Amino acid sequence: MKVPCLLLCVATVIMGLASAVPFSSLSKLPAFSFFGNQDNIIGNRMGYSFITNIPSCISGAGYTPASILLAVSTSAAVPGVSNTDAIKSLLNDSRAQVYYAGQFNTVPCRVSRDVVQVSSKAADNSFTLTTVLGYQVGSEVCTSVKGLYCNQVLEPGTPYRVNFFILDASNVIRAYTDWSDIVTTLNVTNNAQLDSGLSRRSGGMVVITVLLSIALFMLVPALIATLVVGREKSPLP
């Protein structure tokens, strides 16, 4: 009799975690800039994905923020959902219009970090400097995902909205950020068609390249002349 009881207890816990949470019972975080990286990185919006900021610090009233669920809406309109039960996992409902793309740990308020990172090492490899960029929405093929959620590759030229749900240490949703403004993926299917933003920098890069080339051509003859003069002035053995 112990085994059926254990199974019943586990089923009860799972059903409790899966129960709907009305938005009205959640705290709403202040206005958040979801796409503040527009001028800071190349490829913020691609044909099949885009990058959104994540909260660098969350202070919970009466609870400790532990993780964040990222929800995605595939419509330009604000999703008409009033509880978390309306947000699906694509692994359970492949046609879901509003779905969870992934879950990751929150950041202590004394630290700033993210999931998508750029790291640079010191010349002597003594340390690594990590720069936070954001969370990439649209990076997975659902048939290859083994977790709870699928961060599905997005459709080109399609509007999306995102929302962050804050969970406590018991994996209970306690707050949310509300839905973002619309972000539309680029209407391209070939990376060669993407405007990476380098065109804005090309003029300055050309000038720098020319100056370095001129400096190199001036240094080489000067070095040769220095060697010749040095030989002429050196005393004969």
> What is the value of pTM for the model shown?
0.67
148: Cβ–Cβ under 8 A, 6 or more apart, which residues? 89, 91, 100, 103
Measured from the Cβ of residue 89, the count of other Cβ atoms closer than 10 Å reads 17
Q: How far is CA 225 from CA 129, 221, 222, in A?
A: 43, 6, 5
- What was the pLDDT predicted at 167? 95
Per-residue pLDDT 10s for the chain (237 aa) are 444 444 434 333 333 344 689 999 999 998 888 987 655 555 677 889 999 988 888 888 889 999 999 999 999 999 999 999 999 999 999 999 999 999 999 887 765 554 555 566 666 776 666 666 689 999 999 999 988 999 999 999 999 999 999 999 999 999 999 999 999 998 876 655 555 444 444 455 555 666 676 777 677 777 777 777 666 665 555
Q: Give the C-alpha separation, 87 to 97, whole Å.
A: 8
Burial (0-12, 13-18, 19+ Cβ within 10 Å), 106:
buried
Backbone angles phi, psi at 123, to 5 degrees: -60, -35
- What number of CA atoms fall less than 13 Å from residue 185's CA on the CB side? 22
Is 135 within 8 Å of 72 (Cβ atoms)? Answer: no
**Closest by CA position to 134, among listed 91, 180, 73:** 180
Helix (H) or strand (E) holding 11: helix 2-18
Q: Give the C-alpha separation, 37 to 107, whole Å.
A: 18
**Closest by CA position to 149, among listed 104, 101, 98:** 101
Does the 17-192 domain belong in CATH 2.60.40.10?
yes
- What was the pLDDT predicted at 200? 44
Domain locations in the chain? 17-192, 201-233
**Closest by CA position to 68, among listed 99, 102, 98:** 102
CA dihedral 20, 23, 24, 26 (to 10 degrees): 100
172: Cβ–Cβ under 8 A, 6 or more apart, which residues? 21
